[in-house]
Amino acid sequence: MAAEARKGMTIYRAADAPRLEETDLMHPMTVSEATITDMAETMAEAGALAAAGQEVRVLVRQTEDEGGFSLTHAWFKAGYVLPRHSHSGDCMYYVVSGELSMGAQTLRAGDAFFLPTDAPYAYQAGPDGVEVLEIRRGVTSFDMQVPDGQRNRFEALAAAALANGERWQAEECSPTMAANRG
């Protein structure tokens, strides 16, 4: 039966993609009490605005019998700052539009990067934001672990949210997803 399920084409529509938080694909963040305190203290004023700065949708989530792939579309708006974190599964990232800065590296549309399980990373969206596809295989769910010592990243995110919050709230759809609003 599983072999037959993989014979034909399957189409996945962006319009049908749920938000990541509406699924159980990613477990709640794993953070220490110290990190929770840092987040609360630095994000108090900017929390709601920061939430408007990103959107992640689950485009594909297959069972192992179907092939075991998941594909998410992450849109981080202009200047959005991701804290250093890791995930419990290998992941290939492909930049669809915009750009991101990761340390001394700038990745633009068409660039990609790979992160093995538990490899920590962080990045900041460029001045026009960034859209990234996240491709995983053989991962039915994954976690997000945020290590201690991120206060400076949370402060940078809060500053970006306060500076860009009104713009973030006004932007309802990423450039790529806008193509499906026909």
Q: What confidence score (pLDDT) does residue 5 get?
A: 54
User: Has residue 48 been placed in a domain?
Assistant: yes
C-alpha to C-alpha distance for 64 and 105, rounded to whole angstroms: 35
C-alpha to C-alpha distance for 147 and 158, rounded to whole angstroms: 18
Looking at the chain, list the stretches that DSSP marks H as alpha helix, in order from N- to C-terminal side: 2-5, 33-43, 47-51, 151-170, 175-178
pLDDT in tens, 127-173: 999 999 999 999 889 999 999 999 999 999 999 999 999 999 999 99
Containing structural domain, residue 32: 22-169
Contact 91, 120 (CB under 8 A): no
- Into how many domains does the chain fold? 1
Q: Model pTM greater than 0.85? A: yes
User: Has residue 121 been placed in a domain?
Assistant: yes
Q: What is the mean pLDDT of the chain?
A: 92
- At 168, which amino acid appears? W
- At 125, which amino acid appears? A
C-alpha to C-alpha distance for 55 and 72, rounded to whole angstroms: 10
Tally of CA atoms within 13 A in the half-sphere of 158 that contains its CB: 16
Predicted confidence (pLDDT) at residue 4 exceeds the cutoff of 60 = no
CA distances from 82 to 60, 67, 173 (A): 23, 30, 20
- What's 148's domain CATH number? 2.60.120.10
User: Has residue 137 been placed in a domain?
Assistant: yes
Six token digits for residue 100: 């991101």
User: Has residue 12 been placed in a domain?
Assistant: no
C-alpha to C-alpha distance for 87 and 63, rounded to whole angstroms: 19
User: Has residue 16 been placed in a domain?
Assistant: no
Q: What confidence score (pLDDT) does residue 139 get?
A: 87
User: Has residue 174 been placed in a domain?
Assistant: no
Q: What confidence score (pLDDT) does residue 48 get?
A: 87
Predicted confidence (pLDDT) at residue 16 exceeds the cutoff of 50 = yes
Predicted confidence (pLDDT) at residue 1 exceeds the cutoff of 50 = no
